[in-house]
Amino acid sequence: MSLGTAGARAARTADPAEPGGDAALAAAVALPPRAERAERAEAAADRLRTAAVDAVAVTWVDNAGITRVKAVPVGGLVHTAEWGIGTAPCFDVFLADDASTTSPIIGGPTGDLRLYPDLDRLVPLAAQPGWAWAPGDRHTQAGGPHPGCQRLFARRTEAAAAARGLSLKAGIEVEWVVALDGPPQEAPRYPTHGPAYGMHRLTDLSDYLRDVLRALDHQGLDVLQIHPEYSPGQFEVSVAPEGPVGAADTSVLVRHTIRAVSARHGLRVSFAPVVEPGAVGNGGHLHLSLWRDGRNLGHGGPGPHGLTAEAEGFLAGVLDALPALLVLGCSSPAGYLRLVPQHWAGAYQCWGLENREAALRLVTGSTGERAAAANAEVKCFDASANPYLAVGGVIAAGLAGLERRGTLPPEFTGDPAAAEPGTVPRLPQGPAEAIAAYERSAVLREALGEPLYQAVLAVRRAEAEQYASAGPEQLVAATRWRY
């Protein structure tokens, strides 16, 4: 199992019993013993019955960024924990409109996988009474990790960091547009017409937003803030940072909780990159900090704004890989309608302290809280991304940068759009450019492993082709209610 160029090299030379060895990395994606799973599921099922839960939804996110699901009654949870739920591998080449493509290794009607709920994340759903949710990992029928499983990929990259004594804290901001319910072909009609960031909007939708907060809180999520955003009907919620796989799980849970609360209020939501052509879109900004021995490596170092050499190397790796990372962090071709200058989407491949036009925004936090708060934000990502691919890809690119002791180019202050043309590189302006960068990225290819790398590539190519001649109106109409 490979983990990025540098990781793979280290893994091959290490003793397999050592933390950085193949055995440790394999352990990070292995299922616990069956008897242990059964015992834990039995206890979990008892708790769920006490909480009046009838069924458990087990989700995974496909390469097009759509959350897919299989559900089981609570009575079947033990069997599910022991044997998984059957899921077809062809979901790895599904497109956002439910058409499918094929890829050199994964695709076609044959084969089956087992989807195992992660019982550590099992939680009753506050806005879907009688239901609980758990994210799933996909394994083969023989019990080994499915090489196309995006969540296991994220786990492997987390383990690759751990093998170097590093840990990460991550958080994914969720932006959404809320609209009155209507048919899928209809453009949004808004339940509030209040101004951007306006109290007016919060007042109009006060019960709804309180119910969103309540549901998130009942599910054990630690909300940092909620507020109206720029575009019509747009809001944002952010939650406390946690481990990278946990943050990806949380972003799935937060979005589906918002969707469920909205439905109970007769509203519908869009997390699509762009909901109205030309408007500011929905981002899926990824915040990350790198830690060693309980110390935030983004603070107290000799580098720019207190970065340590390791944090700077990590961020240099991420910055360098951003064009290729867009393939993982912006799944939909519609993402490139969002990723435009002067929309706070981070359309330029540069970094800057608190610069909202830079794809990589450095955040040091306030004086006094910096040791805890310093982090970096990848702004160019949107919520059409599979969050497991997004976090795993960023970690792989960051570790490669750290390994080669990368340094950041000079900081960019101000608006890159106002700079002398050509001074600051634009990120890819369409899927073809991002796909070309991805095809040049040995780091991502090795980290993802061939089956997953190829499946993602096939899905991106197929969606790029689907919308190659579509104008913005058509592309937005086709994607706005899919995410």
| Residues at the site binding ligand GLU, with contacts judged by CB under 6 A | 175, 229-230, 280-281, 283, 338, 343-345, 356
Please give the Cα distance from 338 to 382 (Å, whole number): 9
Of 305, 325, 307, 299, nearest to 402 by C-alpha is 307
CB of 66 to ligand GLU, least distance (A): 20
Residue type at 387 in one-letter notation: P
Nearer to ligand GLU, 64 or 280 (CB): 280
Collapsed DSSP state (helix, strand, coil) of residue 170: strand
Choose among ligand GLU, Mg ion, none what residue 360 binds, the Cβ cut-off being 5 to 8 Å by kind.
none
Q: Which of 236, 310, 320, 382 binds Mg ion (CB under 5 A)?
A: 236
CB of 285 to Mg ion, least distance (A): 7
Rank residues 236 and 446 by Cβ distance to Mg ion and give the closer one.
Answer: 236
Residue 356 near which of Mg ion, ligand GLU, none (CB within 5-8 Å, type-dependent):
ligand GLU
Q: Does 382 bind Mg ion (CB under 5 A)?
A: no
Nearer to ligand GLU, 371 or 418 (CB): 418
* Least distance between ligand GLU and beta carbon 237 (Å): 11
CA pair distance 283, 385, nearest whole angstrom: 10
Q: What is the nearest approach in angstroms of ligand GLU to the Cβ of residue 301?
A: 26
Nearer to ligand GLU, 188 or 281 (CB): 281
- 236 vs 357 by CB, closer to Mg ion: 236
Q: Which long-range contacts (CB under 8 A, 24 or more apart) does 50-54 make?
A: 51/124, 51/132, 52/129, 52/130, 53/124, 53/130, 53/131, 53/132, 54/130, 54/131
Q: Using CA atoms, how far apart are residues 278 and 400, in angstroms rounded to an integer? A: 36
Min separation Cβ 334 and ligand GLU, Å: 12
How far apart are the C-alpha atoms of 267 and 70, rounded to whole Å?
A: 25
Q: Could you give the C-alpha distances from 314 to 165, 307, 444, in angstroms and in order?
A: 14, 10, 14
Give the Cα separation of 322 and 325 in Å (integer): 5
The rounded distance, in Å, linking the Cα atoms of 11 and 163 is 9
Nearest approach, Cβ of residue 284 and ligand GLU (Å): 8
Nearest residue by C-beta to ligand GLU? 283
Question: Are residues 325 and 382 in contact, defined by beta-carbon separation less than 8 angstroms?
Answer: no
Q: Cβ atoms within 10 A of the Cβ of 293, count?
A: 8
Phi-psi region of 467 (alpha: psi -120 to 50; beta: other; left: phi over 0): alpha
Residue closest to Mg ion, measured at CB: 236
Q: Closer to ligand GLU by CB, 291 or 344: give it.
A: 344
Q: Per-residue string for binding with Mg ion, 388-427, x by CB under 5 A? A: ----------------------------------------
Q: How far is the CB of 156 from ligand GLU (least distance, A)?
A: 28
- 338, interface contact from ligand GLU, Mg ion, none, CB < 5-8 Å by kind: ligand GLU
The answer to whether the beta carbons of residues 457 and 382 sit under 8 Å apart is no
Write out the residues near Mg ion by the rule CB under 5 A.
236
